[in-house]
Structure 1
Amino acid sequence: MPLLTLSAGDLAFGSAPLLDNADFQLDPGERVALIGRNGCGKSSLLRVLAGSSSLDDGEVWRAPGLTVAYVAQEPPLDPEMSVLEVIVAGMGEVSALLADYHAVSQALAAEAGHAADPSLAALSPDALLERLHTLQQALEARDAWSLEANVERVIERFSLDATARVSSLSGGQKKRLALAQALAVTPDVLLLDEPTNHLDIAAIEWLEDLLIGGGTTLLFITHDRRFLDRVATRIVELDRGSLASFPGSFGEYLQRKERMLHDEAIQNAKFDKFLAQEEVWIRKGVEARRTRNEGRVLRLEGLRRERAARRNRTGQVALSLDAGRESGKLVAELDAVSKHFGEGSARRQIVREFSCRIQRGDKIGLIGPNGAGKTTLLRLILGELAPDSGSVRLGSKLEIAYFDQFRVQLDDDATLADVISPGSDFVDLGGEKKHVISYLGDFLFPAQRARSPVRSLSGGERNRLLLARLFARPANVLVLDEPTNDLDIETLELLEQRLQEYSGTLFLVSHDRAFLDNVVTQTIAAEGDGLWREYVGGYQDWADWHAQQRAQALAESAAARSSAPPKAPAGKATPSTVAPARSKLSYKETRELEALPGRIAELEDEQKRLGERLEDPALYTGPAQEAAAVSSRLAQIDDELLALLERWEALEART
């Protein structure tokens, strides 16, 4: 029995329908990926299925008692609320009771008169206990303690600080919080709109494991092809108002879709040829009237209506990159460069004695967790930031263009034409002038929108506009910071192709693993504690190398233990040729081994969060002890991680 269905759905904004008599069904256990071009209506469909928007016509049916959780692309979170308050707020009628219960519990734990809530600070301990008892009874009557336990589990699973304010969270942490809020109610169906945006690669892989292992029925929108291939059990494409289903992986969808488009083009060509022949016949006029073939005339009218109703596939973005004049062979050379932020106990090393030589035509990917210092390293390489020690030598004739992931280069009040060519109606492309409206058309912006303000654009359209602005000027060095966010898959693949053909030097910061693998020739990766290393190839080459190193280290460690002579009991000698007996794990040790990966993951997540805080200049404007506490905790985490990894290795060796 399906959990959710859409029947004969119609939805339109403007002249073109987003949904045109569309049908959809979601069955239990499915993980369905919804794909399609920017602006085709994917997010609108998700909102309709979530119940936050309505159809113009048609019906959405949900199984009785179905719980649906929806995580928007940019989740609307109150910046003044705490993490706990946000998660509890999504739990319906018991949310207020749970929030009050936690507030009273904290007030009892705090010193008298120091409760966070002023209304509670005035109450005596006895009054607080009485209120707590009343709230406890109300929660028990609604069986809310299972929900309370679930809140604690998701906060721990997502490595969030329950007391932290939303305003203090990074983009990745806000995305985790929105996911935690959705999962806290244990939904029957989870709807996700671009869940990988703002997450680093480690967090994306963690989310993949969570969604695959969780068993929740899932419908999601994403542009991340690696995420699609691993998570989706079915692909549904929204194209020109219709929904087409493709069981299987994303790779299988691509093969079937190519055949379908080829067949569609052949059928359309045959139809158009037949229609042209009938138009020639009707224009003969006298002959048509003489034969009085009214059936043929009526058929022609039907053909005309069918042709008018046929919506041709939207054209493809026309990307072209102009590298301009050639830079010098050397782009940048770094020799033992180091950079830190903070002082004393709050000091954090971002780059430690890093050396590299970058030459014209190199395509370099920068990877590392959020807060590792990728932007700082880029600024050092390009000479925008002075190192604490070491030297940076820049090449000659560098013309640098930037793509900013936060799109701060876009003025919301400017028109699209002004963004591309301020003060002029033409764009100079390789010495040839092109009208700005025609150039915007290359990026799928219709002529009537050329004078529209930037604020009217969607996320994907803003990215396309920024790409249009970036490529309107020649540059022999391109710096792209998360260019793939919000772009549809077809535009992504075209951008990949143009970057592969680009003759200049490229610096690419991206969490899209497939994009990195398809574009870059070498990778600079964060190894922790300010260490950066250069590797040949893309993300997968780096990941494979690390996997080999870990496997080799474990093999060497196991070999060393097996060749070591066993300890002799006091007063006895043990021949060195006798192999040591390996004791089996006890029940407690087995449970400990099973828990270690989760504990290590929690510490690594906390490490990343604290790293992001240390990189935030605002931290150093507050009390000095706050930065010192963060730095001290980071040092403790390093020690804990080392101990846990050694313990894991020791237990693994005995299994």
Structure 2
Amino acid sequence: MNYLTVENVSRSFGEKYLFQNISLGINQGQKIGFVAKNGSGKTSLLHIITGKEQPDDGKVSYRNDLRMAYLSQEPDLGPELTVEQAILESDIPTLLLINEYEKAIKNPDDSEALQAALDKMDAANAWDFETKYKQILSKLRIDDLSVKIKKLSGGQKKRVAMAIALLSDPQLLIMDEPTNHLDLEMIEWLESYFKQEDYTILMVTHDRYFLDRVCNEIIELDNGNLYSYKGNYSYYVEKKEERLLLEQTTQEKAQQLYKKELSWMRRQPKARTTKSKSRIDDFYQIKEAAMNRRKDHKVELEINMERLGTKVVELHKISKSFGVKKLFENFSYNFLRGERVGIIGKNGTGKSTFLNLLTGNLPPDNGKVVVGETVSIGYYTQQGIDIQPGQKVIDVIKASGEYIPLNKGKIISASQLLERFLFDNKKKHDYVEKLSGGERKRLYLCTILIQNPNFLILDEPTNDLDIPTLNVLENFLMDFPGCIIVVSHDRYFMDKIVDHLFIFNTSGTITDFPGNYSDFRAYVGSTDISLEKDEKSIPAKKEFEPPKSISQKTATGPTRDQQKQLSRLENKMKKLEEEKDALQKSFLDPEISTQQMTENSVKLEKVKESLEEVEMEWLELSETIGV
């Protein structure tokens, strides 16, 4: 059953088109994730679909009597209303039925009205509404219904708006960044809730695990074009890679053909036959295809930061309380070089306080924090950047640093770092006050990184960042040679970056867990973000050790079996390299079909993965036997 259809919709600001001639349909049962870069028009398209804005061209058609709910990034709730009033006055259909039923009960003489009210209650399953109502408010931690909306924080307003959207029982639920301001427990509850309830969903979110576990289709707005992928986020990532590889090979062929046709054009054919005019027209199409390069940036930096000494950061029996609330007590830990620690815990367990103790912004009640002489801390806080009127983007980052030194005497300038974090030349010279929230967070990250710290502390770095920027940040951090501490509700980000976790428990203890977030969730087996288990039952954490020097490695030499294994791996690598080269050369064949090109693209990715695995095995064996 079709709920709505978007036909040839366009939206522009001035001379710049966000998107042009976009079409899509939403049918019953679809759970669609919508992904795109910041500034490409995601929210504008949602506003057009929900009727908050009108398109420049095209139209949106709706099914008759469609019940639709829209959860925006900034909910519009009456500031003078209490939370309870905001819920009761939000035209929730079931609440209207309950009010009608209660009125009918008060007038028992009107049996027809009472029977009609009972029938409507049965049809809408309204008898279970109170249970559902209490469950949703409880899970979203909406406890005080008497407080006025104007006194709530941005996160609390978002949760109230979420509750109203869920209680309205829509056929189509449209959400813009639904997981912002929700903690890990709320996000995981919401995932399971959407699996149980029969919702049709269209949502924009940067939470990739949420997309993976909730959605059965991904649509992507990329360079003004809309692409659809019939699967979850993991399927989308795989198929997008295939699409980009196909685009790359197609463009390479177009470039070769362009060079050939350019040579012909330069000879300036005098005979203007129909055939030559047609070839000239084709030339400009070929040129457009050959010059249509993607503007994706990858951050692959061999950073030459100041090397951490043997003493990094040491915590000696630190304690912190606020009034009678004990956050943690007598916690000791020595950070080693190269550690990547994730911090998780319920709200109010002291995560941000702990970071402020590390950075010296807050003193401990007891104990001490010792920071090594070679440590340079970069601290990314939730508050973000302090905007000064009249400042340009490039000036803001240059105030923090001019360049990052790389290996072999190279540098990356402030301007180049901005480019890698998706600021084009125009954006670099824009005024900071014109930037979106996500762009400001991106700029703030750059001001931290340009200082070339060797100990990074990141407090919710993924808030307001789009998926392309998250990928850039992850690539940077994967190559980062220093220490990293991360507080984040982005589980995908945590899994990719951290090696072990500090679990902040409500009892005031901190547990060191040896694994990433998915390992922790599998170990706990519930959505409770705590670990009050017996310390003996927790797996032992693998100790961080600096790489062994040559003199420390075994001096006995490789055994015969090790030599055979090494030789076997080298032969396997050689064959895989040859297979990879052959597949890459096949794309240059002008006679290759599109189907064969796609098949070879998939084969190439599998060969690359196999080659990486064999190379890693070879490296590990080489380190073991000291060759």
Fold match (TM-score > 0.5) = yes
Q: C-alpha separation between the residues in 2 aligned to 1:530 and 1:550?
A: 11
Structure 1 position 5 matched with structure 2 position 5: yes
> What's 2:547 paired with?
none
Structure 1 residue 358 and structure 2 residue 335: aligned? yes
Aligned to 1:521: 499
Residues 457-505 of structure 1: CA deviation (Å, up to 9, x unaligned): 1222122211221221111111111111222223323322321221111
Shift in Å at residue 513 of structure 1?
0.9
**Residue 110 of structure 1 corresponds to which residue in structure 2?**
none
Q: Are 1:297 and 2:297 an aligned pair?
A: no
1:379 to 349, 352, 356: 356
Q: For residues 103-130 of structure 1, what are the alpha-carbon distances to aligned partners after superposition, in whole Å with 9 as ceiling and x for unaligned? A: xxxxxxxxxxxxxxxxxxxxxxxxxx9x
Unaligned runs of 5+ in 2: 100-105, 107-113, 538-627
In 2, the alpha carbon distance for the partners of 1:19 and 1:31 equals: 22
Measured in 2, the distance between the counterparts of 1:201 and 1:94 equals: 29
Partner Cα distance (1:302, 1:42) in 2? 34
CA contact (8 A) 2:438 2:465 kept: yes
Shift of 1:149: 8.9
- Residue 274 of structure 1 corresponds to which residue in structure 2? 257
Q: Specify the SS of the correspondent of 1:3.
A: strand
CA distance in 2 between counterparts of 1:487 and 1:412 reads 23
- Distance in 2 (CA, whole Å) between partners of 1:532 and 1:552 is 11
> Structure 1 residue 331: deviation in Å?
2.2
Q: Give the secondary-structure state (helix, strand or coil) at the position aligned to 1:158.
A: helix
Corresponding residue for residue 313 of structure 1: 294
Q: Identity over aligned residues, as a percent?
A: 34
Q: Distance in 1 between matches of 2:86 and 2:304?
A: 48
Match of 2:136 in 1: 157
2:505–2:531: 8 Å Cα contact kept in structure 1? no
The answer to whether structure 1 residue 534 and structure 2 residue 515 are counterparts is: no
1:330 to 288, 311, 324: 311
1:156-195 correspondence to structure 2 within 5 Å: 156-159=135-138, 160=142, 161-195=144-178
One-letter amino acid of the structure 1 residue matched with residue 462 of structure 2: T
Q: Tell me the alpha carbon deviations over residues 590-625 of structure 1, each in whole angstroms, 9 at most, x when there is no partner.
A: xxxxxxxxxxxxxxxxxxxxxxxxxxxxxxxxxxxx
- 1: distance between equivalents of 2:300 and 2:42? 24
Structure 2 residue matching 1:54: 3-state secondary structure: coil
Structure 2 counterparts to residues 144-543 of structure 1, below 5 A: 153-154=132-133, 156-159=135-138, 160=142, 161-285=144-268, 288-290=269-271, 292-305=272-285, 307-308=287-288, 312-316=293-297, 318=299, 320=301, 322=303, 324-342=305-323, 347-411=324-388, 413-422=390-399, 426-427=402-403, 429=405, 436-543=414-521
CA contact (8 A) 2:83 2:148 kept: yes
Distance change >3 Å, CA 527–CA 258, structure 1 → 2: same
TM-score when scaled to structure 2? 0.74
Instruction: Tell me the SS of whatever aligns to 1:289.
Output: coil
Contact 1:4 1:63 in 2 (8 A): yes
Amino acid corresponding to residue 392 of structure 1 in structure 2:
V
Partner of 1:17: 17
SS at 1:422 equivalent: helix
Of the structure 1 ranges 313-322 and 161-170, higher mean CA displacement relative to structure 2 is found in 313-322
Q: Which moved more, 1:158-167 or 1:85-94?
A: 85-94
Taking the aligned partners of 2:364 and 2:313, their CA distance within structure 1 comes to 14
Alignment deviations for residues 516-539 of structure 1 (CA, whole Å, 9 cap, x no partner): 111112211112121111111211
CA gap 1:279/1:151 in 2 versus in 1, 3 angstroms: farther
Measured against aligned partners, the alpha-carbon deviations of 1:168-198 in whole angstroms (never above 9, x if no partner) come to: 4344432221111222322111111111112
Q: How far has the Cα of 1:420 moved from its partner?
A: 0.7
RMSD over aligned CA atoms reads 3.7
Please report how far the alpha carbon of residue 13 of structure 1 lies from its aligned counterpart in structure 2 after TM superposition. 2.6
Q: 1:144 to 1:90 in 2, by over 3 A?
A: farther
- Contact conserved, 2:400 with 2:451, CA < 8 A, in 1? no
Rounded to whole Å, the distance in 2 between the matches of 1:326 and 1:42 is: 43
Q: 1:223 to 1:412 in 2, by over 3 A?
A: farther
Distance in 2 (CA, whole Å) between partners of 1:323 and 1:221 is 38
Aligned to 2:618: none
Letter in 2 for 1:293: T
Pair 1:412–1:314, CA change in 2 (3 A): farther
Rate the CA distance shift 1:263–1:433 in 2: closer, same or farther, 3 A.
closer
Q: TM-score if structure 1 supplies the norm length?
A: 0.71
What is the CA–CA distance in structure 1 between the aligned matches of 2:298 and 2:72, rounded to whole Å?
A: 26
Distance 1:92 1:22 in 2: 32
Q: Cα distance, 1:221 vs. partner? A: 1.0
Aligned letter for 2:252? A
Preserved contact between residue 354 and residue 532 of structure 1 (Cα < 8 Å)? yes
Q: Deviations over 1:290-347 (max 9, x none)?
A: 4x333332332244156448854332264758463123322222233221112xxxx1
After superposition, give the CA deviation of every residue in 1:405-464 in whole Å (9 maximum; x if it has no partner): 23144446532122111399x546457676654543333223233332222112221222
CA contact under 8 A between 2:318 and 2:364: conserved in structure 1?
yes
For residues 312 and 276 of structure 1, the distance between their equivalents in structure 2, rounded to whole angstroms, comes to 16
Corresponding position of 2:40? 40
| One-letter code aligned to 1:72 | S
Structure 1 counterpart of 2:85? 85
Distance in 2 of aligned mates of 1:317 and 1:96: 54
**What's the secondary structure of 1:339's corresponding residue?**
strand
- Secondary structure of 2:391's match? coil
1:552/1:162 Cα in 2 relative to 1: closer, same or farther (>3 Å)?
closer
Partner of 2:600: none
> Which 5+ residue runs of structure 1 have no aligned equivalent?
100-128, 130-136, 557-655
Aligned-partner Cα distance in 2 for 1:11–1:151: 42
Shift of 1:70: 1.1
Residues 198 and 533 of structure 1: CA distance in aligned 2, closer, same or farther (over 3 Å): same
Mapped to 2, the partners of 1:93 and 1:473 lie a distance apart of 55
| Contact 1:82/1:164, CA 8 A, preserved across alignment | yes
- Compared with structure 1, are the counterparts of its residues 181 and 266 closer, same or farther at alpha carbon in structure 2 (3 Å cutoff)? same
Q: 1: distance between equivalents of 2:416 and 2:430?
A: 15
Q: Check 1:311–1:406 CA distance in 2 against 1; reply closer, same or farther (3 A cut).
A: farther
After superposition, the Cα gap between the structure-2 partners of 1:451 and 1:173, relative to the gap in structure 1 and judged at 3 Å, is same
Q: 1:332·1:382 contact (CA, 8 Å) conserved in 2?
A: no
Kindly indicate whether the alpha-carbon contact (under 8 Å) linking 2:502 and 2:512 is maintained by their aligned counterparts in 1.
Answer: yes
Moved more, 1-10 or 492-501: 492-501
Distance 1:95 1:550 in 2: 40
Amino acid at match of 1:332: V
Given the superposition, is the C-alpha separation of residues 207 and 377 from structure 1 closer, same or farther in structure 2, using an over 3 Å criterion? same
Equivalents in 2 of 1:552, 1:371: separation in Å?
Answer: 20
Residue matched to 1:123: none
Q: Which amino acid aligns with 1:485?
A: N
Q: Any residues of structure 2 matched to 1:622-641 within 5 Å, and which?
A: none
Q: Label 1:464 to 1:321 Cα distance change in 2 as closer, same or farther (>3 A).
A: farther
Question: Which range moves more in the overlay, 46-55 or 391-400?
Answer: 391-400
